[in-house]
Amino acid sequence: MDKEQVAEILLEIGILLELKGENPFKTRAYAGAARTIETLHEPLAKIVAENRLGELKGIGEALQQKITELVTTGRLDYHEKLKASVPAGLMAMLEVPGLGPKKIIVLRRELGVESVEALEQACREGRVAGLERFGEKTQSNILDGIARRRAYATQHLYADALRVAEPMLEDLRRHPDVIRCSAAGSLRRNREVIGDIDFLASSKKPAEVIAHFTSQPAVISIIARGDTKASVLLEGGIQSDLRVVSDTEYPFALLYFTGSKEHNIAMRQRAIERGLRLNEYGLFRSTEETRDPALMVECRTEEEVFAGLGLHFVPPELREDAGEFTAAEKEELPRLIEWGDLKGSLHNHSTWSDGRQTLEEIASSMDELGLAYWAVTDHSKSSFQANGLEAARLRQQIREIREINQRLASEGVDFRLLTGTEVDILKDGKLDFTDEVLSELDVVVASIHQRLAETEAETTTRLIRAAQNPYVHALGHLSGRLLLAREPYKFDAHAVIDACAAAGTWIEFNAAPERCDMDWRLWPYAKSKGVKCVINCDAHRLDHVGYLRLGAGLASKGWLTRADVINTLPLPALMRELARKRQPPGRS
């Protein structure tokens, strides 16, 4: 059993224990262990075999025993018994807003409710309102929550959330009573999938700002509204929260509402270790509960709060309690990749396969945007659904691209189109073009589009063989996932990364919002192995060039710097790297 599966089971144990009314700290211990396991950069089986589980943070004797059982036997007796003792419907009930473990336990004990459907029925019949500490309002809120879940997704793509959030943020900034404001939460941390959109503002008149926020045209309904905080439901079904604080409190509140939760817990523990107390109102020279301004460590910005805890500034996208504290103590936080560092995209489509724009249209638009190069990598023939090219059409396309480039050169334009293909990785890892055809192209990206349901071993072998082909520059959208729609195919990502490291093959960060693939969690490992990244738009339309910005944001979450990303290179250096990949080993 691999680490993803182990982590999933540990997380589930935590939730099941919660539903049994267990000590919440026990639940957290399982969730923490799941995170630790998931972010390991070496095979879990190796750690188990070498008896090193106990060295991991948050894994004590009980969890060592359970994880070992999972890894060695593929199952866990404790988990199976626990799961059998909790009705499956309770897990779904936990997702209804306003319902937590305590209320679910009461509903089950008093009314025998064990599923969302039974809960809905019980609310309709008015049986829920009669329970102790429930009431009419709770009952109707539960019904609303169930209906809302049905009508709207509770998770949204980063790009979709950003599109809604940016105009709202601009609107808040223009409000006369707003001093400072920012997005917070998962949006500010550049997560690929967002739950709700969090905003934070500072003001001397919080009520005015809250009133303005809740009366915006995009607001469908107000979920909650207090003096300093409001939650609304926006068109399209995204929930948005605004918190308003004083300007003195703003840096502390921004830190707090940006999270992550795990990062915040570690920050507070750091404060306690230094005899301080950190909350959303301040950093206090006391471990007692206080808001005494005299005890406050004065901080105007987040930077100063970090400094107060002996840390360099941690960029929001790194605040996942995934190594940022160690790096921030030693001043080893990297300067992360930025949008403006990118000089072009090496995986894109045109009307020759399933893209919308012609080569001419692409060349003139990308030149206008100030990019240096743009590879046209249309699909190969096996992707017939995407009008993939066979060798003859590809060679015709190469001629057309050369003509365009000659014209650009004669006009003194610095921009160049690059020839290329997104070649299909077929069964057994063979490619859809011969090496001879591939050798004629500037850029070769190899991706899987068919036979997604093979076994982990088969898919891993396919990807490794493709990575080993000397004409392949990069593997495209490594996992095949479509966020919120399709799971990744099963494969051993670490084994594929190792193979890329050995072959000098790059891995794409596919910046299409529904892909964000390879996942940011794997990049620190790839980087440690020396594997380079290419941030690609996988553009099918001109406006997909904007994905470069999303890509840089997500890649920075993987701790990548300019030096780690190939398409930060200017054209001559890029061409050298593209050629170098194809030289036999020892001649570089």
Partner DNA sequence: GCCGTTTTCGGCCCGACTGTTTTCAGTCG
**Peptide bond preceding 260: is omega within 30 degrees of 0, i.e. cis?**
yes
- What length does the chain have? 588
Among the candidate windows 218-226, 378-386, 465-473, 574-582, which touches DNA by CB under 7 A?
A: 218-226
Q: 13 to each of 16, 17, 154, 176, how far by Cα in Å? A: 5, 6, 23, 49
Residue 392 C-beta: closest distance to DNA, Å:
56
Token pair of 341, please?
Answer: 């560092």
Give the chain's radius of gyration (CA, Å). Answer: 26
Residue 314 C-beta: closest distance to DNA, Å:
17
Distance CA 493, CA 477 (A): 12
Distance CA 440, CA 435 (A): 9
Residues forming beta bridges with residue 98, ordered by sequence position = none
Site for DNA in 167-196 (CB under 7 A): 185, 195-196
* Binds DNA by CB under 7 A, chosen from 281, 415, 433, 520: 281
Could you tell me which of 502, 452, 440, 442 has the C-alpha nearest to residue 477? Answer: 452
* Binds DNA by CB under 7 A, chosen from 134, 252, 306, 352: 134
Tell whether residue 136 is a contact of DNA (CB under 7 A): yes
* Binds DNA by CB under 7 A, chosen from 5, 138, 155, 246: 138
Tell whether residue 80 is a contact of DNA (CB under 7 A): no
Say if residue 356 is exposed, middle or buried (CB neighbours under 10 Å; 0-12, 13-18, 19+).
middle
* Binds DNA by CB under 7 A, chosen from 72, 287, 385, 396: 287
Kind and range of the H or E run holding 458: helix 456-468
21-50 footprint of DNA as x/- string (CB under 7 A): --x-xx-xxx--x-----------------
Nearer residue to DNA within complex by CB, 226 or 570: 226
Tell whether residue 93 is a contact of DNA (CB under 7 A): no
197-216 footprint of DNA as x/- string (CB under 7 A): -x------------------
Residue 58 C-beta: closest distance to DNA, Å:
5
Nearer residue to DNA within complex by CB, 79 or 582: 79
Say if residue 295 is exposed, middle or buried (CB neighbours under 10 Å; 0-12, 13-18, 19+).
middle
Tell whether residue 84 is a contact of DNA (CB under 7 A): no
Strands ordered across the beta sheet of 533-536: 344-345, 373-379, 416-424, 443-447, 474-475, 506-510, 533-536
Tell whether residue 133 is a contact of DNA (CB under 7 A): yes
Tell whether residue 101 is a contact of DNA (CB under 7 A): yes
Nearer residue to DNA within complex by CB, 245 or 531: 245
Token pair of 424, please?
Answer: 């299909």
In this structure, the number of other CB atoms found within 10 A of the CB of residue 329 comes to: 14
Nearer residue to DNA within complex by CB, 244 or 478: 244
* Binds DNA by CB under 7 A, chosen from 74, 88, 132, 174: 132
Among the candidate windows 68-76, 135-143, 425-433, 487-495, which touches DNA by CB under 7 A?
A: 135-143
Residue 21 C-beta: closest distance to DNA, Å:
9
Full 3-state SS string of 81-115: HHHHCCCHHHHHHCCCCCCCHHHHHHHHHHHCCCC
Q: Which residues contact DNA by CB under 7 A?
A: 23, 25-26, 28-30, 33, 57-64, 78, 96-104, 129, 132-139, 141, 185, 195-196, 198, 224-229, 239, 241, 257, 259, 261, 264-265, 268-269, 272, 277-281, 287, 289
